[in-house]
Amino acid sequence: MKKGELKLLRVSFEVFFFIFIFLSFFRLLPEKLKVISIKSQIIPHVISFFFEGFLLSLFLLVLLLLITAIFGRIYCSFFCPLGGFQDILIRIKKRGGKFNYREPLILIKTTILILAIISLVSGSLYLIGYLDPYSFFGKIVNYLLKPFIALINNSVELTLRKAHIYWLLIMRFPTLNHLTLIPFILILAIIIYLSLKRGRLYCNSVCPLGTFLGILSIRCLYKIEIDKVSCTSCGICESVCKAECINSKDKTVDNSSCIRCFNCLNVCPSSAIKYKPSTKKKKSSIEKTQNISRRNFIYSFLGVLGFSGINLFLRNKKIPVVNYSPPPTPPGSISLDKYISKCTACYLCVNNCPTNVLQPSLFHYGVKGVFIPHMDFYSGYCSYECTRCLEVCPTDAIMPHTKEEKQKIQIGRVNFIKDYCVVYRNETNCGACAEICPTAAVTMTPYKGVLRIPTTKPSICIGCGACQNVCPAKPKKAIVVETNLVHKEAKTPKRKRAGRINATPEDFPF
């Protein structure tokens, strides 16, 4: 492969995955395509395998890590959507670039990696949710890009609609919670500042996945190397290196920091910089970083072991997650505990939910489950025919189930409070809850005169929350769903026979 083609290959992959992962947060793409593009992400596979032991996740994880061990940090420039986001910013700032070689920030890197691993095993993915590049990209789409697009779309839509052109649809603004925005804006500011000032420094100082892949690629097979004989130390390659890992004076490349963007290959006037299987014996400077990395890696490993021990100890004590009734978790999440320990709050499900029942939470699931999506029956209800969140969830926090299986999962049970009901209070007809109930767990039964009042059958209820969502009673809903902390199976409703009236009568009945 020629040197120019490598960069072209990288740019094509980067653009493809960036666009497809970005579009996965909209309803335009078919679910299959969304799943395929997000299968390129590493952390979701780690979680899926770590907690559920899914072999497909293991296979893809091994494959992605193997690619790293052979070719270096391909992931960072080919698949990572946050990398793509930063590259867009870098391109806006300075085309061609003016970067200088800097020593890697090993202490910061390793500390954050250790913190991330603690977060992974502690049963709350709060930190991972902000440090995993894919999950953070999801937050960028949810909090920044989508509202921006919605604003433009809706104003164009309004203009067109006034001219009776119905090409566009109104987009819903995501719910913005001030509290969830604080850590988001903080990290986003760091990313934007660093990418504008120092290229991909975020990937080489904060991102724990970048650090981990960096350790893996220290001994990778294919390396960027400078031919010491033909190199003139002109520094052009150093100035275009977004990762700031080329030292043109010493004619060395820090391959653990290199994100494989291949920008340097095209610019060298004497073709001295090459991407090829490593042949040379390790030089002292590389060895130095390597030793430090190895030592740090061992420390990290010991740290993780220690913290997992503490974590296991804490887990066995069974600290109650919450001491009040939390909202139900999405069907397929099995139980509240499992859901909290696997969700990284990438908000992919929130953005794909057709009824907007999935909303970012605040402290609905306690401190451990802060900011992960919850079922908000005030903004929507879970559609009986829909399985989108189960299909798209990249970490299997919402496990895949077929539609028939999902329609049997009882995430909560209906509870009718007669005192608040419109029929009881005003003595007028209503029936909003019964007409929307998909399983006939709520039906209307004779009450006074021609009036009919809701009657519930909680055993066949699936807890979809449709009744709670549509109940018009104010200020308190007369029908609510009570959460099953561990999901159950709903009983099959018995069908009553039809045929009360004759088919196709001989004549008009009037």
Partner 1 sequence: MNRRDFFRKAFSLAAVAGISSLVKSNTLLAAEEGSKNSKTPDLIAVKNGTPERMFDEGIKAFGGMKSFISKGQTVVVKPNIAWIANPEGAATTNPTLVKRIVEHCYDAGASKVYVFDHTCNDCFTTYPVSGIEQAAKEANATVVHADKESYYEEVRVPGAHALKRVKVHELIIESDVFINVPILKHHGSTKMTCALKNLMGVVWDRSFYHRTDLDRCIAEFPLYRKPDLTIVDAYNILTDGPRARSLEDVVKKEIQLLSKDMVALDVASAKILGEKVENIKYIKIASDLGIGISNLEELNIKRITL
Q: Shortest gap between Cβ of 290 and partner 1 (angstroms)? A: 54
Q: Which stretch binds partner 1 (CB under 8 A): 3-11, 15-23, 99-107, 438-446?
A: 438-446
Q: Shortest gap between Cβ of 440 and partner 1 (angstroms)? A: 6
Decide: is 404 part of the binding site for partner 1 (CB under 8 A): no
> Which of 382, 406, 376, 412 has its CA nearest to residue 484?
412
3-state secondary structure of 59: helix
Decide: is 115 part of the binding site for partner 1 (CB under 8 A): no
Decide: is 510 part of the binding site for partner 1 (CB under 8 A): yes
Decide: is 507 part of the binding site for partner 1 (CB under 8 A): yes
For residue 332 the two structure tokens come to 């397929």
Decide: is 318 part of the binding site for partner 1 (CB under 8 A): no
Q: What is the distance between the alpha carbons of residues 278 and 295, in angstroms, rounded to a whole number?
A: 23
Q: Shortest gap between Cβ of 492 and partner 1 (angstroms)? A: 13
Decide: is 322 part of the binding site for partner 1 (CB under 8 A): no
Contacts of 318 (CB under 8 A, 6+ apart): none
Decide: is 354 part of the binding site for partner 1 (CB under 8 A): yes
Decide: is 422 part of the binding site for partner 1 (CB under 8 A): yes
Cα 79 to its chain centre, rounded Å, is 15
Q: Which of residues 167-196 bind partner 1 (CB under 8 A)?
A: 169-170, 172
Q: Which stretch binds partner 1 (CB under 8 A): 5-13, 137-145, 271-279, 502-510?
A: 502-510
Q: What is the distance between the alpha carbons of residues 507 and 510, in angstroms, rounded to a whole number?
A: 9
Decide: is 1 part of the binding site for partner 1 (CB under 8 A): no
Q: What is the distance between the alpha carbons of residues 483 and 326, in angstroms, rounded to a whole number?
A: 7
> Which of 132, 50, 150 has its CA nearest to residue 83?
132
Q: Shortest gap between Cβ of 491 and partner 1 (angstroms)? A: 16
Q: Which stretch binds partner 1 (CB under 8 A): 144-152, 197-205, 286-294, 435-443?
A: 435-443
For residue 278 the two structure tokens come to 């490593």
Binder among 36, 158, 302, 314 for partner 1 (CB under 8 A): 158
Q: Shortest gap between Cβ of 496 and partner 1 (angstroms)? A: 8
Q: What is the distance between the alpha carbons of residues 71 and 478, in angstroms, rounded to a whole number?
A: 61
In the block, which residue shows the tokens 């939390």?
326
Q: Shortest gap between Cβ of 497 and partner 1 (angstroms)? A: 7
Decide: is 385 part of the binding site for partner 1 (CB under 8 A): yes
Q: Shortest gap between Cβ of 269 and partner 1 (angstroms)? A: 56
Decide: is 19 part of the binding site for partner 1 (CB under 8 A): no
Whole-number CA gyration radius for the chain: 28
For residue 157 the two structure tokens come to 């839509």
Q: What is the distance between the alpha carbons of residues 271 and 278, in angstroms, rounded to a whole number?
A: 17
Total residues contacting partner 1 by CB under 8 A comes to: 51
Q: What is the distance between the alpha carbons of residues 129 and 47, in angstroms, rounded to a whole number?
A: 11
> Which of 90, 171, 169, 177 has its CA nearest to residue 139?
177
Q: Shortest gap between Cβ of 411 and partner 1 (angstroms)? A: 18
Q: What is the distance between the alpha carbons of residues 305 and 118, in angstroms, rounded to a whole number?
A: 9
Q: Shortest gap between Cβ of 386 and partner 1 (angstroms)? A: 7
**Beta-carbon neighbour count of residue 100 at 10 Å?**
13
What string of DSSP letters covers 383-413?
A: -TT--HHHHH-TTSSS----HHHHTTEEEEE
Decide: is 419 part of the binding site for partner 1 (CB under 8 A): no
Decide: is 475 part of the binding site for partner 1 (CB under 8 A): no
First to last CA, the chain: 83
Q: Which stretch binds partner 1 (CB under 8 A): 59-67, 81-89, 196-204, 384-392?
A: 384-392
Q: Which residues bind partner 1 (CB under 8 A)?
A: 27, 154, 158, 164, 166, 169-170, 172, 354-355, 383-386, 422, 426, 428-432, 434-438, 440, 443-444, 450, 452, 470, 472-474, 495-510
